[in-house]
Amino acid sequence: MMKQNWWKSAYKQNHFIFKFAISILFVGFGFRLLFSQSSTAIPNVSNNNNINNNNNDDNNNDNKTPVFVKDENPISSDFADSPKIVNGFHPKDKDSERCDIFDGEWIPNSGGPIYTNNSCRWIESHQNCMGNGRPDTGYLHWKWSPKSCELPAFDARKFLETMRDKTWAFVGDSITRNHLQSFICLLSEVEDAVELFHDNDYKNRKWHFPSYNLTVWVMWSPFLAKAEIFEDVDGVSSSEIKLHIDVLDKTWTEQFDTWDYVLFSSGKWFIKTAIYYENDAILGCHGCQGKNYTDLGFNFAYRKILKNLFKFIMNSNRKSMIIFRTSTPDHFENGEWSSGGTCNRAVPAKEGDFELGDLNRILREVELPEFSKAEDEASEKGIKLKLLDVMPLSLLRPDGHPGPYRHFYPFAKDKHAKVQYDCLHWCLPGPIDQWNDLLMNLVMDD
């Protein structure tokens, strides 16, 4: 009887323990289920930041966890892109096995420039940095190196031999003219160019290399379209620009059929205040505060004119090679052109030093898709159309601008003198010479 009572007592005790254990398991499972559901309801902080902070240089879809933002923010410039964004916008070569010459880095070059301000007489005073007293020379000793191939330096003699009996033209703004001067200086190391023509302002010019019968033009057409401009040499406007977005500039269209190679470029001028005309009637404007016009934005005009440009090229009977050069960055810091901006750097920038700026991003978001569409049509029609994307390598060279040395010895009388800096154009010689390495590669690779 005692054994039976003990067994019943033990059974009741064990049964209680068993039920208690089961209860614990269910409670634990419930907490686990609740915690799991709560965790999935919490939004991903990193992804949220990516959505709401598109202008943050740390915005990267590869980051899956929150990160601390550095106290030292990268410099924000309206014309500066981070290299990641620049390369992201760059359309990839349709032949994936070919080297992307626009994706690379600047490496030291002990050899230095091919020409100097003493050996080339075609350098304009505002880009003659050495002649104007720039004291450092380190900016001259770098070269652009693509990541997956070798980029040969510009070979002037080979270029001249290849271009016998040809005609070249550079059509665009003052940066185009800056590029043209580098081009002429490089070729003049083999044979000095003979100038055949220039207008009163030296904006439209023509040269000849007699031994090779090569003719080179530069045509000033900052919008590539018909425009009435009211601006002095320092960029000060007395009135809004009148831009006819439906009419290409006859300055170059009337000469187009005489050229074998044409390089077009534009961009920066579209940011300026302008009244837009279509069919000789006011359509709208950009930045025209105080006027009763619709502000269409400069991207509207830029896209419209590029469409007209490429349409003109596609409908032309001339089988020229067409090169379209992308817009370029400036490197103003602590202000802009007209507000005390400076550029005093002496070495190339590192990746990430300059973050994406809205204005230059808009220019690229217009020009690269428009070029891509035109490239597809050109391929179908057998037209040679190539892209010269100088943004990636130029972005990393804040040291390559004239800065205060757009003026002749600006600090000779007062080392603290306040002078206007040029952080848009490029010293000659300087990083802009490497654009011609890329240009020769495009032409010879045809």
- Calculate the alpha carbon distances from 77 to 273, 369, 430 in Å: 19, 23, 22
**3-state SS class at 248:** strand
Told to judge if 422 belongs to the known catalytic residues of this protein, a careful annotator would answer: yes
- Say if residues 369 and 324 touch (Cβ distance below 8 Å): no
Encoded tokens for 94: 């349709």
Cβ–Cβ < 8 Å for 223, 249: yes
Is 416 tagged catalytic?
no
List the end-to-end C-alpha distance of the chain, in Å, as a whole number.
Answer: 108
Provide the phi-psi class of 268: left if phi over 0, else alpha when psi is between -120 and 50, else beta: alpha
Of 77, 82, 90, 174, the catalytic one is 174
Q: Strand ranges (DSSP E) for 326-418?
A: 354-355, 384-388
With beta carbons less than 8 A apart as the criterion, state whether 321 and 261 touch. Answer: yes
According to DSSP, the β-strands at 167-172 and 214-220 are parallel
| Catalytic residue (choose from 330, 422, 433, 437) | 422
Active-site residue, selected from the candidate residues 394, 407, 425, 437: 425
- Looking up tokens 């590539």 gives 224
* Closest residue by Cα to residue 427 from 169, 116, 40: 116
Which amino acid is it at 233? V
Where does 166-319 show beta strands of DSSP type E? 167-172, 194-198, 205-209, 214-220, 225-228, 241-248, 261-265, 274-278, 281-286
Nearest 5°: the CA angle 143, 149, 151 is 40
Tokens of 437: 């390495």
Cα separation, 37 vs 39, whole angstroms: 5
Residue 402 is inside which H or E element, if any?
A: none
Buried b (16+ CB within 10 A) or exposed e, 317-351: eeebbbbbbbbbbbbbbeebeeeebbbebeebbee
3-state class of 208 per DSSP? strand
Is 125 exposed, middle or buried, given 0-12, 13-18 or 19+ CB atoms closer than 10 A? exposed
Question: Is 425 annotated as catalytic?
Answer: yes
Helix (H, G, I), strand (E, B) or coil at 281: strand
Is the Cβ–Cβ distance between 99 and 111 less than 8 Å?
A: no
Joined together, the tokens standing for residue 321 give 């090679």
Instruction: Provide the annotated active-site residues.
Output: 174, 422, 425
